[in-house]
Structure 1
Amino acid sequence: MIVLHEKIDVPRPVHEAFAYVQDFCTTTEWDATAITATRLTPGPIAVGTRFEVVCDMPVGSVTLCYTITRLEPDKVLELHGTCRLFEVTDVIHFSETASGTHIDYRASFELKVPLGPAHGPVKRGMQRMGRKSVEGLRLALEDDFPVPEISPANARADHWVLPGLALFSRLGYKKGRKHWYPMSAWMGDKHVVITGASSGLGLATATALAERGATLTLVLRNPDKAKKLLDQLRRDTGNHNISIELADLSLMAEVEALVKRLQAKARPIDVLINNAGALFNSRTETAEGIEKSFALLLLSPYRLTEGLRPLLAAAPRARVINVVSGGMYSQPLAIDKLVAKESDYSGSVAYARAKRGLMVLTEQWADDWAADGIVVNAMHPGWADTPGVESALPGFHKLTRRILRSPEEGADTIIWLAVATEAGKVSGKLFLDREPRTTHLLGKTADRPEERKRLQPFLDSFPAPAG
């Protein structure tokens, strides 16, 4: 038997430390040997919950199947793991200290194959591995990471445009994740509002935040989908603090009604994620007579976010996350072109122009709302394989499907902006793969100051819906 035994003290409440560690999927963030980790059992984490963890160890790459065998909340977590080379029992004790939490971590390995003369070197290698892994856990729970900055390599890629575009693919995600910090921040006391959560990026975001214990308000349009989604999320994550608000966000009357309902509930909003969107290849107008791309993609998040400002200001250090698109790099802010005419309508161009407008709003809100303690950032997901991309851009999807990101990969930066402590230290930025990125790849799309000044008055010029 080989035994690894390490102890650490961390400046975190015991319930936060326990909640982070009990989801063994977090091992990829703090265990240097863990390559991937997947929860195999739906529902709340409990005795019997199973995980699959692929590790790179001194004895080679192994796939470990872990099962929780003992769980005493905030006190003890025990897991039994098995693979082709060994069985392991991890016993983790948590105890409250004056400054946080003491963690006692013991892993006992029973080898299935004799190592002979290699036993000593393997034992020493595994003990080094154990020390490094528990040190990683300490750093994760201390949660004291630097303010995010763009790396020199990504700055060069953005400067040369084409390399920057290449990083929109899955390659950029895989490249970026090698340098990411853990996300251990406690979400159990956070209220998150997400628009467009029925599929794609929104569903991936909602699932991840539900698993972290956040209270979610999901804004959806279709009542049948909403009921199925609510049941699915509660079943899969074990989180029952999830509610649905029905609203067609392309209609300003429904946006206004949604704002009033949320205001009446008077629950502060810690995170607002403006994710709802669609690309309309044919020009249509809403029942209120507004061009639909503009209404859904720009006017709607503007009115929703402005209307929810008091609830955001009521939360400590609230965050607004605007989901934009790499397509905005092709368009400057042009107020007179935000509402496209029938004669020159292009769905992709209308989409890009609206997302450019949302990026400018992000910067303006960050400046104007800093005194309220509200952090406002934007992100773009790169090229992600979502139902919206497949239906609206079938040619692009067919051409790029082998390099597209999964919805979970595309949503990662949304989740990071909502959770990570260091993400709350910057405002008014555009992020891709957890790094701030340039808002303009091409000089011809640079914003003119007079256009920026016109944006909010232009959005305010649309009359409030009657009633």
Structure 2
Amino acid sequence: MITLEESIDVTRPPAETFRYVSDFRTTAEWDATAFRARKDTPGPIREGTEYLVDCSLPVGSVRIRYRVTALRPGEFIELVGNSRLFTVTDRITFTPRDDGGTHIDYVADFAYKGPLASLEGALREGMERMGRKALEGMRHALEDRPPPPVISSCNERADRMVLPGLALFSRLGYRRGRKRWEPLSADLSGRHAVITGASSGIGRAAALRLAELGASLTLVMRDAGKAEATVAALRAESGNEAIRAELADLALMADVDALVTRLKTSGEPIDILVNNAGALFNPRQETAEGLEASFALLLLSPYRLTRALLPLLEAGGGARVINVVSGGMYSRPLEVRKLVAREENYSGSVAYARCKRALMVTTEQWADAWAERGIVVNAMHPGWADTPGVESSLPGFHRLTRRILRSPEEGADTVVWLAAAPEAGEVSGLLFLDREPRTTHLLARTAAQETAEEREALREFLAAQEAAFPADVAKSAAAR
């Protein structure tokens, strides 16, 4: 048997360090030998929780199935791993320090199988180096001080060449990008996130991960049955009980206003606002309030909601607003006069792309206007993700691309990173894909049409729409 013993000290408190390290999916972030890890048991981490961790070896790879055999939250966890080559018992202890940080003791007992058992003496030195490197990786992850995000040279080239840039919207782009990522060990305990469109797809995946990071969640959904089921499922999976739902059809301004009133009445500051709700409408539809549905849901609604919630965002101190846009916006320039789609030559995908383009510009304008208030505003697009919305609204696209589509979790990753990562709070007014700032225009023609005059026209248009549709008008329109 080979026993590895290592210790490190970190400035984070024990509860935070335990939350991060006990979720063994994070081994792929801090252990250089681990390249993939997943949780294989539903529910919160407890005795019996299992993980599958794939590790690199000099002559191939090995899959280790870990099982949590003992734990005391914030203090101790023990896991037993089994592979075709060895068994290992990991014991990790978290001891509070006088300065508020944590002393971490790591002990691992390796027992090799078959012919390798006779080579333990020769393997010992390499294993000890591996243990030291793993604990240094853990220390790096828990110190959580990455530099501000910048675009990589390879993605910058891909964006200039257009087609390579589009290809990175696939699962390939996600897997390629994650090789450059810093660990995400943020703890969101005490932070309040409001997420719209959280019953499925990107919104639900983001909600689950933020709940696992400790955030309290307010999830905005239309359907009462789905809302109840979603809250119950997320509580059961994350172990986080601080999850509640608010019902609102965000295509209706009356519902937006009523939601704002309820949130303001609660008085709870908002640290994270994710404007994710969306749909692609074919054929053209109008809401009960007489608004074209794409414009109402995709642009006017997040505009009205976010501006109305400014007092709660300011109260949070360092709040973050995340607008979910779409790669489809690259195909359309900013054309204010076409934002409200007409019957003639209507296309749901075009209407969607135009509104998302306008939301991107609005993101930049808010970032400038609210910088002194300490509010960070960024946009992201999830790439091509396999969500119920994509399957139902773009069935042809879904059939052609389903083998290369991202999972909802992969699509939602940048939402979570923008909400949680310290370095993501250092930049504002940018568009992100796979945790990197990306160009807002792949095509020269769309960039050329986005003049200062057109951007100002958008600001004036949305302000006029808001003024022309005050709360009392919204209520009376919805009642008709």
Taking structure 1 as the reference length, what is the TM-score of the superposition? 0.97
Per-residue displacement from partner, 1:303-348 (whole Å, max 9, x unpaired)? 0100111111111211000000011111111111000111131111
State the shift of 1:72 in Å: 1.8
Distance (whole Å) between structure 2 residues aligned to residue 266 and residue 411 of structure 1:
28
Equivalent in 441, 456, 459 of residue 459 of structure 2: 456
Quickly say closer, same or farther: Cα 1:93–1:203, change in 2 above 3 A: same
- Size of the aligned set, in residue pairs, is 467
Deviation at 1:115, TM superposition (A): 2.2
For 1:273-295, what per-residue CA distance to the aligned partner results, in whole angstroms no more than 9, with x for missing partners?
A: 00000111211100000000000
Question: Which secondary structure state, in structure 2, belongs to the residue aligned with residue 376 of structure 1?
Answer: strand
In structure 1, the residue corresponding to 2:389 is in which secondary structure?
A: helix
Tell me how far apart the structure 2 counterparts of residues 55 and 147 of structure 1 sit (CA, whole Å). Answer: 29
Q: Is 1:15 the counterpart of 2:15 in the alignment?
A: yes
Structure 2 equivalent of residue 445 of structure 1: 446
* Cross-structure match for 1:405: 406
Q: What is the CA-CA distance between 1:58 and the residue it aligns to?
A: 5.0
Aligned residue number for residue 110 of structure 2: 109
Contact 2:186/2:213 (<8 A) preserved: no
Q: Is the 8 A contact 2:85 2:116 kept in 1?
A: no
Whole-Å separation in 1 of the counterparts to 2:139 and 2:109: 20
SS of equivalent to 2:273: strand
Q: How far apart are the structure 2 equivalents of 1:295 and 1:116?
A: 67
Are 1:44 and 2:44 an aligned pair? yes
Residues 1:94 and 2:91 aligned together: no
Cα offset, 1:107, TM superposition: 0.7
For 2:366 and 2:277, the matched residues in 1 are separated by: 19
Task: Name the Cα RMSD after superposition.
Answer: 1.3
Letter in 1 for 2:202: L
**CA shift for structure 1 position 457:** 2.3
Question: What residue identity is the alignment partner of 2:313?
Answer: L
* Equivalent position of 1:343 in the other structure: 344
CA distance in 1, matches of 2:117, 2:50: 32
Which residue does 1:256 correspond to in 2? 257
Instruction: Tell me which moved more, 325-334 or 292-301.
Output: 325-334
1:165-244 to structure 2, matched below 5 A, reads: 165-244=166-245
Secondary structure at 2:334's aligned position in 1? coil
| DSSP 3-state at the match of 1:344 | coil
Distance 2:434 2:299 in 1: 23
Q: How does 1:42-81 map to 2 (within 5 A)?
A: 42-57=42-57, 60-81=60-81
Q: Which moved more, 1:341-350 or 1:317-326?
A: 341-350
Q: What secondary structure is seen at the aligned counterpart in 2 of 1:317?
A: coil
Matches for 1:294-309 after TM superposition, within 5 Å: 294-309=295-310
Q: Describe the SS at the equivalent of 1:342.
A: coil
Q: In 2, Cα distance between the equivalents of 1:6 and 1:59?
A: 26
1:290 corresponding residue in structure 2: 291
- How far did residue 296 of structure 1 move? 0.3
Range 59-68 or range 25-34, more displaced: 59-68
CA drift at 1:59:
7.1
Helix, strand or coil: the match of 2:62? strand
Off by >4 Å, runs of 4+ in structure 1: none
Letter in 2 for 1:23: D
CA contact (8 A) 1:58 1:125 kept: no
Kindly state the Cα deviation for residue 116 of structure 1 after the two structures are TM-superposed. Answer: 6.3
Query: 2: distance between equivalents of 1:349 and 1:14?
Result: 50
The one-letter code sitting in structure 1 at the alignment partner of 2:130 is M
User: Which residue of structure 2 aligns with residue 369 of structure 1?
Assistant: 370
TM-fit CA distance, 1:124 = 2.1
Report the equivalent of 1:245: 246
1:268–1:224 Cα change, 3 Å: same
Report the AA paired with residue 174 of structure 1.
R
**What SS does structure 1 have at the residue aligned with 2:287?**
coil
Tell me: CA distance 1:58–1:70, structure 2 relative to 1, closer, same or farther (3 Å): farther
Please state whether the residue corresponding to 2:51 is helix, strand or coil: strand
Shift of 1:111: 1.4
d(CA) in 2 for partners of 1:116, 1:414: 46
- In the alignment, the residues of structure 2 paired with residue 59 and residue 436 of structure 1 have an alpha-carbon distance, to the nearest angstrom, of 37
* SS of residue paired to 1:255: helix
- CA–CA distance in structure 1, aligned partners of residues 186 and 471 of structure 2: 40
> 2:106 and 2:333 mapped to 1: Cα distance?
54
Provide structure 2 residue ranges, at least 5 long, that are not aligned to the other structure: 476-480
**CA displacement at 1:71 relative to structure 2:** 1.3
- 8 Å Cα contact 1:42/1:238 also seen in 2: no
Task: For 1:45, give the aligned amino acid.
Answer: I
Q: Is the 1:58–1:126 contact (alpha carbons within 8 Å) kept by the matching residues of 2?
A: no
Distance (Å, rounded) in 2 between the aligned partners of 1:377 and 1:384 = 20
Aligned partners of 1:35, 1:389: CA distance in 2, in Å?
Answer: 30
Change over 3 Å in CA distance of 1:286–1:87 after alignment to 2: same
Q: State the SS of the aligned residue for 2:250.
A: coil
The one-letter code of the counterpart of 1:218 is: L
Equivalent-residue separation in structure 2 for 1:14 and 1:199 (angstroms): 33
Where do 5+ consecutive residues of structure 1 fail to align?
Answer: none
Contact 2:112 2:120 in 1 (8 A): no
8 A Cα contact 2:190 2:216, kept in partner? yes
TM-score normalised according to structure 2 size: 0.95
Q: 1 CA distance for matches of 2:459 and 2:249?
A: 22
Contact in 1 for aligned 2:55/2:63 (Cα 8 Å): yes
The amino acid across from 2:308 in the alignment is G
Q: Distance in 1 between matches of 2:59 and 2:2?
A: 13
1:119 is matched with which residue?
120
